[in-house]
C-alpha cells in the first residue's frame, strides 16, 4: 500500500540525512534567548538550565511533530527535549544527557508518549539516571481513543494531550511544586484528556522521500496517530460538520465527563491544514461539544503536534478543574506557546 | 567423527559484519514492509545501527573476548538505532554476551544458551509472546530448531542452517497474524496480510550467523 507512484519530493532540505540537526540548529538560532541546542548530545535545553530547586521536565520522541517537543522548551514548560530521527524514538544517551543537563536537585520528570520505542528507551535512560543518583519520575501519555482494545495492542498512543500536559505540568514546576505534585498533576491531565485524529493526506519523511501511505482522492483515514501510520479505518471524505461529529463522538463517549463539565478544547492541525480550516472545524466542534452537554471554557487552535506536512486534524478534550485551568492560564514563554510572559 | 566448528571472537566479528551487510542490502525491502504496517523506517534505522557496530568493532584489537564484542555491539545498537529495535536488539546482544561470560571460544550448546538469553531479554523488555507478530516469531522457532538439531547430534553448521530456515519460516508465518505489539498493533485487523519487518530482520541476522559460523568453522 506504500508503493504508489509519487511525485518527486519537494522540500526545503540540504542532505535529507541532516534534516533534524539542521532544523534544531535553526530553532536555536531563532530562539537563543529561550533555549540552546547541544549538537553533540542531540538535545534542546532551556537557556537557563539547570534551574536550582525546580523540578525539571524532560520529554522527547521522534522528530516530525514540530513544534513538539523542542518548540515547547522554555519558561513554564519543558526544560529539555530529546529529538529522535523523524518518527523514531531518541536513544537513551540523549535522555540521560538531557536529564543531567536540567537536574536542579529537585527531581526530573520524564514525559513519555506511549509508543513501544519511546517507552523502552526512556526506561533504559531512567535506569541509567538512577545509577547516577538522579530521581526520575516517568509519566506516560496515552490519550488516543482510536486505539480501543489495549489487551491486543501496544496500548493507547500519546497524542494531543502531550501538549496540554507539558504546559500544565510545566506551570506547576515553575511555581515551585515538588516532584510528587508535578507528577500527580501530569497524570491527572492524562487521565482526563482524550484525543482522536483524522488524516486528509499522507506525509513524506525526508529520508524516505515518498509518502508513507497512499490515500486515494476522496478518502480520509480515521483514527490516525502522529507518525503517518495508517488509521483504524478509511472512509469517504465528508463535510467538516460530519468529520467533527466523528471526532466529538469518539472523544466524548470515551471521556465520560459529567454533564456541564468545563473543558479545554484543543483543535490541532497535523501540519498541512491551514488555520482557515482549523477555525472552521473549531466552530463545528465547539457547537457540538455544547450540544453534548460540555462547556468549553479554554481552547487551543493551531498546529502543535504534527505529522510533517500531513493534512488533517486531531481533537483533544481535557476535562478541567480550577487548578488545571489556572495552571493552563499561567505564564509560558517558549518558541511555540507564549502568553502572560 | 565430525570436527565441531568452534565459535570465536573472529566469528562474532564476521557475523555482525555480515549481518550489517545483509541488513543494508535488504534495507529498502525492510523499509517497504515497515511502511505497510509501521512507519516505514526499519531498514534505515537498522542500517544506521549496524554502520555504528562496524565502526565500533573496527576499533577492537585482537584478543577481545567474544562475549565482550557482543556487549559492545549491543551497547552500540542501543545508542544509535532508537525506536523499539534499538533497545530490543541491544539488550539481546548484551544479554547474550553476558551469558557467554569470559570464554575465549564456545560450542553449539553454549551458542544455543546465548541465543536463549538474548530471546529472554527481548521478551522481558518487549513483553511479546509468540503469535504477536514480532521478532519473537522468528527467534523462538530458530531457538527450538537449534536445540532440536544439536540434541539429535547434528553439526553446528547443520543446526544453525536449520535455525536460520526456521527463522525465515517464522517470519513468513507472521503474514496472517494480527499484530498485538508495537506500532503495527494500532492497525488492528488491517495488520493482517503483511509480513512483520522485525521478524524479517531477525531472520536476516540469523541467516548471517549460520553463514558466518559455517565459513569460519
Domains and CATH numbers, chain B: 7-216 (1.25.40.340)
pLDDT at B125: 93
On whether residue A197 sits in a domain, the answer given is yes
| Domain annotation covers residue A330 | no
Rounded Cα distance between A128 and A32, Å, is 29
- Cα A260 to Cα A255: distance, rounded to the nearest angstrom: 13
Q: Give me the pLDDT at residue B4, please.
A: 64
Instruction: Name which residue leads in pLDDT, A297 or B184.
Output: A297
B176 touches A at CB < 8 Å: no
Nearest CA-CA distance, residue A1 and chain B, Å:
6
The Cβ of residue B126 has, within 10 Å, a number of other Cβ atoms equal to 24
CA B21 to CA B208: how far, in whole Å? Answer: 9
- R_g of chain A, CA atoms, integer Å: 19
Which residue's entry shows cell 499561567?
A330
- Domain span holding position A52: 16-191
Chain B touched by A201 (CB under 8 Å): no
Percent of chain B with pLDDT over 90: 85
What pLDDT, on a 0 to 100 scale, did the predictor assign at position A213? 81
pLDDT at residue B216 in the model = 62
Q: Which of A191, A221, A256 is the last residue of a domain?
A: A191
Query: With bands split at pLDDT 50, 70 and 90, how would you rate the model's confidence at B163?
Result: very high
> Are A93 and A146 part of one and the same domain?
yes
Residues of B in contact with A225 (CB under 8 A): 183, 186
Task: Report if residue A108 sits inside a domain.
Answer: yes
Query: What pLDDT is attached to residue B3?
Result: 54
C-alpha–C-alpha distance, residues A66 and B43, integer Å: 24
Least CB–CB distance from B78: residue in A92, A157, A232: A92
What value does the mean pLDDT of chain B take?
A: 93
Distance CA B111, CA B146 (A): 9
The CATH number assigned to the domain holding A157 equals 3.40.50.10440
Q: Is the same domain home to A121 and A65?
A: yes
Beta strands at A262-269 and A295-302: parallel, antiparallel or unpaired: parallel
Please list the rounded mean pLDDT of every run of 10 residues in chain A (341 residues): 54 95 98 98 98 98 97 98 95 97 97 95 94 94 84 86 98 98 98 97 88 88 84 89 97 97 98 98 98 98 97 98 98 98 83
pLDDT of residue B182: 87
Whether residue A218 is found in the same domain as residue A99: no
Could you tell me which residue, B89 or A8, shows the higher pLDDT? Answer: B89
Q: Cα(A159)–Cα(A226) distance, rounded to whole angstroms?
A: 7
The answer on A61 and A136 residing in a single domain is yes
Within a domain: A328: no
Task: Give pLDDT, residue A229.
Answer: 72
In a domain, A78, yes or no: yes
Do A121 and A47 lie in a common domain? yes
Q: Does A11 fall in a domain? A: no
The pLDDT of residue A24 is 98
Q: What SS3 class is residue A240? A: helix
Pick the last residue of a domain from A191, A212, A239.
Answer: A191
- CA A172 from centre of chain: 18
The verdict on A187 and A276 lying in the same domain is: no
Residues A203 and A300 in one domain: yes
The Cα-based distances of A50 to A132, A134, A147, A200, A262 in angstroms read 16, 13, 37, 42, 36
Is A173 a domain residue?
Answer: yes
In a domain, A338, yes or no: no
Q: Are residues A205 and A153 in the same domain?
A: no
Asked if A90 and A216 sit in the same domain, the reply is no
Query: Could you tell me if B213 and B7 are in contact, meaning their C-beta atoms sit under 8 angstroms apart?
Result: yes
A110 is known as an active-site residue: no
Indicate if the pLDDT at residue B140 is higher than 80.
yes
The answer on pLDDT for B63 being more than 80 is: yes
- Distance CA(A29)–CA(A36), nearest Å, equals 8
Beta carbons within 8 Å of A311's beta carbon, 6+ residues apart? A199, A200, A201, A270, A271, A272, A273
Whole-number pLDDT of residue A135: 86
Chain centre distance of CA B156: 17
Beta-carbon contacts of A191 under 8 Å, excluding residues fewer than 6 positions away, are: none
> How is the beta sheet containing A108-113 ordered, strand by strand?
A35-38, A43-46, A80-86, A56-63, A108-113, A136-141
pLDDT tops 60 at residue B54? yes
Interface test with B, best of A88, A123, A145, A231 (most B CBs within 10 A): A88
Contact A231, A174 (CB under 8 A): no
Q: Considering only CB atoms, which chain A residues are within 8 Å of B80?
A: 91
Are residue A202 and residue A152 in the same domain, yes or no? Answer: no
Enter the C-alpha cell of residue A163: 501538549
Residues A163, A246 within the same domain: no
A229 vs B183: CB contact, 8 Å cut-off? yes
Q: What percent of chain B has pLDDT over 70?
A: 97
- The mean pLDDT of B3-30, rounded to a whole number, is 92
What is the number of structural domains in chain A?
A: 2
Task: Assess whether A252 and A263 both reside in one domain.
Answer: yes
Q: How far apart are CA B200 and CA B182, in angstroms?
A: 15
Pick from A20, A116, A152 the residue to mutate for testing the B interface (most B CBs within 10 Å).
A116
Residue A255 maps to which CATH number?
3.30.1180.20
Amino acid at each position: 500500500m506504500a508503493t504508489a507512484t509519487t511525485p518527486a519530493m519537494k522540500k526545503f532540505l540540504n542532505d535529507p540525512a541532516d534534516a533534524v540537526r539542521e532544523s534544531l540548529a535553526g530553532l536555536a538560532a531563532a530562539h537563543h534567548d529561550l533555549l540552546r541546542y547541544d549538537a553533540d548530545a542531540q538535545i534542546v535545553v532551556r537557556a537557563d538550565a539547570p534551574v536550582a530547586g525546580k523540578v525539571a521536565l524532560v520529554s522527547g520522541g521522534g522528530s516530525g511533530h514540530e513544534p513538539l517537543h523542542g518548540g515547547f522548551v522554555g519558561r513554564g514548560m519543558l526544560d529539555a527535549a530529546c529529538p529522535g530521527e523523524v518518527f523514531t524514538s531518541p536513544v537513551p544517551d540523549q535522555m540521560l544527557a538531557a536529564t543531567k543537563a536540567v537536574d536542579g536537585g529537585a527531581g526530573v520528570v520524564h514525559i513519555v508518549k506511549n509508543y513501544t520505542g519511546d517507552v523502552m528507551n526512556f526506561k533504559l535512560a531512567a535506569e541509567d539516571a538512577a545509577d547516577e543518583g538522579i530521581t526520575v519520575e516517568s509519566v506516560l501519555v496515552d490519550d488516543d481513543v482510536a486505539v480501543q482494545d489495549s489487551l491486543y495492542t501496544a496500548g493507547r498512543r500519546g497524542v494531543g494531550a502531550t501538549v496540554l500536559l507539558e504546559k500544565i505540568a510545566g506551570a506547576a514546576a515553575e511555581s515551585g511544586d515538588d516532584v510528587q505534585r508535578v507528577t500527580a498533576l501530569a497524570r491527572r491531565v492524562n487521565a482526563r484528556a482524550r484525543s482522536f485524529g483524522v488524516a486528509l493526506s499522507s506525509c513524506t519523511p525526508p529520508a524516505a522521500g515518498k509518502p508513507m501511505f497512499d490515500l486515494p482522492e476522496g478518502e480520509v483515514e480515521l483514527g490516525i496517530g502522529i507518525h503517518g501510520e495508517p488509521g483504524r479505518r478509511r472512509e469517504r471524505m465528508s463535510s467538516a460538520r460530519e468529520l467533527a461529529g466523528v471526532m466529538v463522538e469518539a472523544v466524548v463517549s470515551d471521556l465520560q465527563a459529567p454533564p456541564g463539565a468545563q473543558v479545554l478544547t484543543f483543535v490541532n492541525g497535523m501540519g498541512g491544514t491551514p488555520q482557515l480550516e482549523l477555525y472552521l472545524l473549531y466552530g463545528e466542534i465547539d457547537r457540538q461539544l455544547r450540544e453534548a452537554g460540555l462547556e468549553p471554557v479554554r481552547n487551543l487552535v493551531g498546529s502543535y503536534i504534527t505529522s510533517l506536512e500531513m493534512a488533517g486534524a486531531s481533537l483533544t478534550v481535557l476535562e478541567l478543574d480550577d487548578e488545571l485551568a489556572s495552571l493552563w492560564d499561567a505564564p509560558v514563554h517558549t518558541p511555540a506557546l507564549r502568553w502572560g510572559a | 567423527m565430525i570436527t565441531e566448528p568452534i565459535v570465536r571472537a573472529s566469528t562474532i566479528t564476521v557475523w555482525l559484519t555480515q549481518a550489517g551487510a545483509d541488513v543494508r542490502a535488504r534495507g529498502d525491502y525492510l523499509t517497504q514492509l515497515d511502511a505497510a504496517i509501521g512507519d516505514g523506517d526499519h531498514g534505515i534505522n537498522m542500517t544506521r545501527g549496524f554502520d555504528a557496530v562496524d565502526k565500533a568493532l573496527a576499533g577492537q584489537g585482537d584478543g577481545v573476548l567474544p562475549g565482550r564484542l557482543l556487549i559492545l555491539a549491543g551497547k552500540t545498537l542501543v545508542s544509535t538505532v532508537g525506536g523499539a529495535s534499538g533497545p530490543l536488539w541491544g539488550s539481546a546482544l548484551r544479554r547474550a554476551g553476558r551469558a557467554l561470560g569470559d570464554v575465549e571460544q564456545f560450542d553449539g550448546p553454549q551458542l544455543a544458551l546465548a541465543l536463549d538469553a538474548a530471546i529472554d531479554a527481548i521478551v522481558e523488555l518487549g513483553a511479546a509472546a509468540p503469535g504477536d507478530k514480532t521478532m519473537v516469531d522468528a527467534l523462538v522457532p530458530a531457538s527450538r530448531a537449534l536445540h532440536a538439531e544439536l540434541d539429535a547430534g547434528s553439526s553446528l553448521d547443520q543446526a544453525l542452517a536449520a535455525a536460520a530456515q526456521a527463522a525465515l519460516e517464522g517470519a513468513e508465518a507472521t503474514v496472517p497474524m494480527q499484530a498485538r505489539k508495537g506500532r503495527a498493533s494500532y492497525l488492528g485487523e488491517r495488520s493482517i496480510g503483511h509480513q512483520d519487518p522485525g521478524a524479517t530482520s531477525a531472520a536476516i541476522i540469523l541467516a548471517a550467523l549460520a553463514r558466518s559460523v559455517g565459513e569460519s568453522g
